[in-house]
């Protein structure tokens, strides 16, 4: 009996112990909730009766080198909806019809959005970037539907429309892939981000910190009052090296060309800063910000994001004769006085190669050969120089490698020569050297590469990494960033060779194929090029630099008009306009802008007796133009 009684007491003691422990745990939890974490739970309770409507902060402005704003912000109105828990379907249907009429949307789509807001008990944006007229009409609905409201935000605005569009880029809504990457950096699922160009490359610098309105809502979700205005923080301003006047001339020149396709790159030879970077066809980045979804959809389907200035790879044609000349003259493979007779064609073994001038240039030396872009002269001098040496100098001038401009998508082109051919296990022939001598065959370059090349000719040897940022003025106390010029390489030529190249290029413009680029009062030196294209009409090239007499050159430019035909007539006048804008010279109609332009100058016709090569698919390298 005593043994059983003792056992019962022990069990009661154990039970009592657990009760005490449980009470202690509950007591500690109450202390934690009521004292230690009271502020946190008050905050959560506060959020349960509030809604936050975010307001997009202004992005940093983008200026040209003279302080002209080329990308800024404008106030824009967004329509928001704060759902009520007791919203009736009939009311939603009526509201959806009214909103759809004003927003030019399908009523069912609007109704679906409103019902989603009710189900999820969350505020939603119904429309953004509303025009003032639509905003005023929608404001009347606020008196009928308390959950409907309009807020003011900042929206990107490009005051010059399609201006340097491929360089500046455009804004777009966050997609799923971007959201996965950026959601931890303060972005919202409906945030706008830079898509291409410097809007994308400098997204972190340009974006601001969004503000918003914290609003009190009642149990039915209706807006009662604004509890707090959270200020936004503006993004950092970027100042470019771009010159708005020069860029305008480049853009307009391409738009006025026969095909509207191509690129213009203008560089300051003294430091590599970009004065203009244009690619066509261009686009108006404002169209991506339209409140009409059909407009945005149409723009997205039509816009070509391909930036021909940095990603278009083309045969250089006769502008490559400058590098052939540098190699041959500097290495003593031929001299300025070496002359050849041009009958309009060149026979090499059983192969026949034509000159663009079917009647021939008769007796020519280097200076007249460059001035008149005589193919036969450069066939012969190319063979004297040799493919390996030409390839070496092309590499010295930066061909076959990226310029490392701070833009996505740059291509390196294709360096063509015996060493490159050997990597594929194929032999090199004299016919390859002949084609290479006039910039044909498998050699491919980009417009930005050729701008760097001609800038090096202007400054006598320095290859600059092209840059378009002058400075970034950071917000929140960070020091201003200033871009410093970066050397990408050096070309060492004998002084007399530099002088000969410059004298020859000046003569090309003053009395040769480049007469369309002459500018009164300036020393303009250039070279035309017309590059065969197996996939269609020839591409037109012109490279040049200019200076006031006795002063260093301030502008070097490369112009490509895709399928434009002759460089003399299609590309040189664009370069002329760019140069005049760089020096602040008013555009006038010249008496005879093309007086010295000879029809077909620089053209490389199909080889005699051999049919033109079949068009190759896009991206396929052209076959060597050798006749048998």
Q: Kindly tell me if the per-residue pLDDT of 197 is higher than 80.
A: yes
**557 bridge partner residues:** 266, 544
Q: Kindly tell me if the per-residue pLDDT of 329 is higher than 90.
A: yes
Give the Cα-Cα-Cα angle 533, 536, 539 (nearest 5 degrees).
Answer: 50
Q: What is the pLDDT of residues 206-254, one digit of tens each?
A: 998 888 777 776 655 555 666 777 888 899 999 999 999 999 999 999 9
Residues 388 and 435 reside in one and the same domain? yes
Quick one: pLDDT at residue 4? Answer: 53
In a domain, 416, yes or no: yes
Q: What are phi and psi of 184, to 5 degrees?
A: -85, 0
Tokens of 541: 């090239």
Q: How many domains does the chain have?
A: 2
Residues 264 and 174 reside in one and the same domain? no
Q: What are phi and psi of 62, to 5 degrees?
A: -120, 125
Residues 494 and 576 reside in one and the same domain? yes
Quick one: pLDDT at residue 14? Answer: 74
Tokens of 398: 């930066």
DSSP classification of residue 207: -
Quick one: pLDDT at residue 89? Answer: 62
Quick one: pLDDT at residue 291? Answer: 65
Q: What is the pLDDT of residues 6-44, one digit of tens each?
A: 677 777 777 777 777 777 777 776 766 566 656 655 554
Q: Kindly tell me if the per-residue pLDDT of 126 is higher than 60.
A: yes
Structure-model confidence comparison of residues 263 and 625, the more confident one? 263
Percent of the chain exceeding pLDDT 90 equals: 58
**273 bridge partner residues:** 467
Residues 210 and 268 reside in one and the same domain? no
Long-range contacts of 117-122 (CB under 8 A, 24+ apart): 117/81, 117/83, 118/83, 118/84, 118/85, 118/87, 118/92, 121/83, 121/85, 121/221, 122/51, 122/83
Average pLDDT, the chain: 85
Residues 402 and 467 reside in one and the same domain? yes
Q: Kindly tell me if the per-residue pLDDT of 601 is higher than 50.
A: no
**Contact between residue 278 and residue 263 where contact means Cβ atoms under 8 Å apart:** yes
Quick one: pLDDT at residue 101? Answer: 81
- Which residue from 226, 231, 193 is spatially nearest to 212, judged by alpha carbons? 231
In a domain, 434, yes or no: yes
Residues 220 and 270 reside in one and the same domain? no
- Which residue from 193, 62, 148 is spatially nearest to 473, judged by alpha carbons? 62
Tokens of 410: 């740059």
Quick one: pLDDT at residue 618? Answer: 34
- State the pLDDT confidence band at 49, using cuts at 50, 70 and 90: low
Q: What is the pLDDT of residues 418-461, one digit of tens each?
A: 999 999 899 999 999 999 999 999 999 999 999 999 999 999 99
- Which residue from 448, 368, 362, 374 is spatially nearest to 411, judged by alpha carbons? 448
Residues 339 and 477 reside in one and the same domain? yes
**Domain ends where: 218, 240, 262?**
240
Integer Cα distance of 372 and 360 in angstroms: 11
Residues 236 and 332 reside in one and the same domain? no
Quick one: pLDDT at residue 545? Answer: 98
Please state, as a whole number, how many other Cβ atoms lie within 10 Å of the Cβ of residue 332. 9
Residues 389 and 531 reside in one and the same domain? yes
Residues 206 and 265 reside in one and the same domain? no
Quick one: pLDDT at residue 83? Answer: 73
Integer Cα distance of 428 and 32 in angstroms: 83
Please state, as a whole number, how many other Cβ atoms lie within 10 Å of the Cβ of residue 298. 13
**Contact between residue 581 and residue 248 where contact means Cβ atoms under 8 Å apart:** yes
Integer Cα distance of 201 and 307 in angstroms: 14
DSSP classification of residue 143: G
Q: Kindly tell me if the per-residue pLDDT of 296 is higher than 50.
A: yes
In a domain, 350, yes or no: yes
**Domain ends where: 240, 262, 290?**
240
Structure-model confidence comparison of residues 25 and 516, the more confident one? 516
In a domain, 187, yes or no: yes
Range of the domain at 422: 252-281+312-582
Mean pLDDT of 88-94: 73
**Contact between residue 352 and residue 403 where contact means Cβ atoms under 8 Å apart:** no
Residues 379 and 406 reside in one and the same domain? yes
CATH number at residue 193: 3.90.1310.10
Q: What is the pLDDT of residues 481-496, one digit of tens each?
A: 999 999 999 999 999 9
Q: Give me the sign of the Cα torsion angle 395, 399, 400, 403.
A: positive
Quick one: pLDDT at residue 84? Answer: 67
DSSP classification of residue 42: H
In a domain, 614, yes or no: no
Q: Give me the sign of the Cα torsion angle 547, 548, 554, 559.
A: negative
Q: HEC states along 232-250?
A: CECCCEEEECCCHHHHHHH
In a domain, 20, yes or no: no
Integer Cα distance of 503 and 519 in angstroms: 16
In a domain, 13, yes or no: no
Mean pLDDT of 94-106: 82
**Domain ends where: 582, 597, 612?**
582
CATH number at residue 471: 3.40.710.10
In a domain, 603, yes or no: no
Integer Cα distance of 515 and 512 in angstroms: 6
Integer Cα distance of 37 and 449 in angstroms: 63
Integer Cα distance of 319 and 397 in angstroms: 13
Integer Cα distance of 302 and 309 in angstroms: 19
For tokens 């060492």, the residue is 492
Residues 357 and 448 reside in one and the same domain? yes
Q: Kindly tell me if the per-residue pLDDT of 497 is higher than 80.
A: yes
**Contact between residue 315 and residue 533 where contact means Cβ atoms under 8 Å apart:** yes
DSSP classification of residue 414: B
**Contact between residue 163 and residue 72 where contact means Cβ atoms under 8 Å apart:** no
- State the pLDDT confidence band at 344, using cuts at 50, 70 and 90: very high
Q: Kindly tell me if the per-residue pLDDT of 102 is higher than 90.
A: no
Q: Kindly tell me if the per-residue pLDDT of 106 is higher than 90.
A: no
């Amino acid at each position: 009996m005593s043994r059983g009684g003792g056992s019962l007491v022990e069990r009661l003691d154990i039970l009592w112990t657990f009760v005490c422990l449980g009470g202690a745990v509950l007591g500690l939890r109450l202390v934690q909730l009521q004292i230690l974490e009271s502020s946190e739970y008050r905050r959560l309770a506060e959020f349960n009766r509030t809604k936050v409507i975010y307001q997009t902060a202004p992005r940093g402005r983008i200026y040209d080198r003279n302080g002209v704003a080329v990308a800024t912000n404008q106030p824009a109105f967004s329509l928001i909806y704060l759902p009520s828990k007791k919203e009736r379907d009939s009311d939603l249907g009526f509201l959806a019809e009214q909103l759809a009429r004003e927003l030019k949307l399908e009523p069912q789509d609007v109704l679906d959005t409103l019902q989603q807001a009710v189900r999820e008990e969350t505020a939603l944006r119904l429309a953004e970037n509303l025009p003032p007229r639509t905003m005023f009409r929608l404001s009347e609905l606020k008196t009928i539907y308390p959950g409907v409201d309009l807020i003011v935000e900042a929206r990107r605005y490009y005051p010059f429309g399609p201006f340097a569009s491929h360089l500046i880029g455009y804004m777009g809504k966050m997609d799923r892939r971007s959201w996965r990457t950026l959601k931890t950096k303060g972005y919202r699922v409906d945030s706008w981000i830079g898509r291409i160009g410097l809007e994308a490359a400098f997204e972190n610098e340009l974006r601001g910190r969004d503000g918003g309105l914290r609003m009190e809502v009642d149990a039915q979700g209706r807006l009662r009052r604004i509890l707090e205005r959270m200020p936004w923080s503006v993004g950092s301003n970027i100042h470019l090296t771009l010159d708005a006047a020069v860029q305008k001339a480049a853009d307009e020149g391409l738009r006025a060309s026969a095909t509207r396709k191509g690129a213009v790159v203008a560089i300051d030879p003294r430091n590599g800063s970009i004065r203009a970077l244009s690619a066509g066809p261009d686009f108006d980045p404002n169209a991506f910000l339209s409140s009409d979804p059909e407009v945005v959809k149409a723009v997205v389907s039509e816009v070509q994001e391909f930036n021909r200035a940095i990603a278009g790879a083309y045969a250089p044609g006769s502008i490559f004769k400058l590098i052939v000349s540098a190699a041959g003259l500097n290495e003593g493979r031929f001299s300025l006085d070496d002359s050849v007779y041009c009958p309009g064609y060149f026979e090499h073994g059983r192969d026949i190669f034509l000159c663009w001038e079917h009647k021939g240039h008769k007796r020519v030396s280097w200076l007249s050969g460059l001035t008149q872009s005589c193919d036969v002269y450069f066939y012969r001098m190319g063979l004297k120089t040799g493919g390996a040496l030409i390839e070496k100098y092309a590499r010295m001038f930066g061909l076959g490698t990226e310029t490392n401009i701070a833009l996505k998508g740059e291509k390196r082109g294709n360096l063509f020569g015996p060493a490159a051919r050997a990597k594929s296990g194929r032999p090199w022939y004299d016919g390859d050297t002949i084609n290479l001598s006039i910039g044909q065959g498998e050699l491919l370059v980009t417009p930005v590469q050729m701008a760097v090349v001609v800038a090096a000719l202007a400054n006598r040897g320095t290859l600059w990494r092209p840059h378009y940022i002058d400075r970034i003025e950071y917000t929140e106390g960070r020091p201003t960033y200033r871009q410093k010029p970066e050397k990408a390489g050096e070309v060492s030529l004998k002084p007399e060779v530099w002088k000969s190249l410059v004298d020859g290029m000046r003569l090309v413009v003053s009395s040769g194929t480049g007469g369309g680029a002459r500018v009164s009062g300036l020393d303009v030196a250039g070279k035309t090029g017309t590059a065969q294209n197996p996939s269609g009409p020839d591409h037109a090239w012109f490279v040049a630099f200019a200076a006031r007499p006795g002063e260093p050159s301030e502008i070097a430019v490369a112009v490509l008009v895709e399928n434009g035909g002759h460089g003399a007539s299609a590309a040189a006048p664009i370069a002329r306009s760019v140069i005049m804008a760089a020096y602040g010279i008013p555009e006038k109609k010249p008496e005879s802008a093309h007086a010295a332009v000879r029809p077909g100058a620089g053209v490389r016709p199909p080889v005699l007796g051999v049919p033109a090569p079949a068009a190759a698919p896009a991206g396929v390298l052209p076959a060597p133009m050798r006749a048998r």
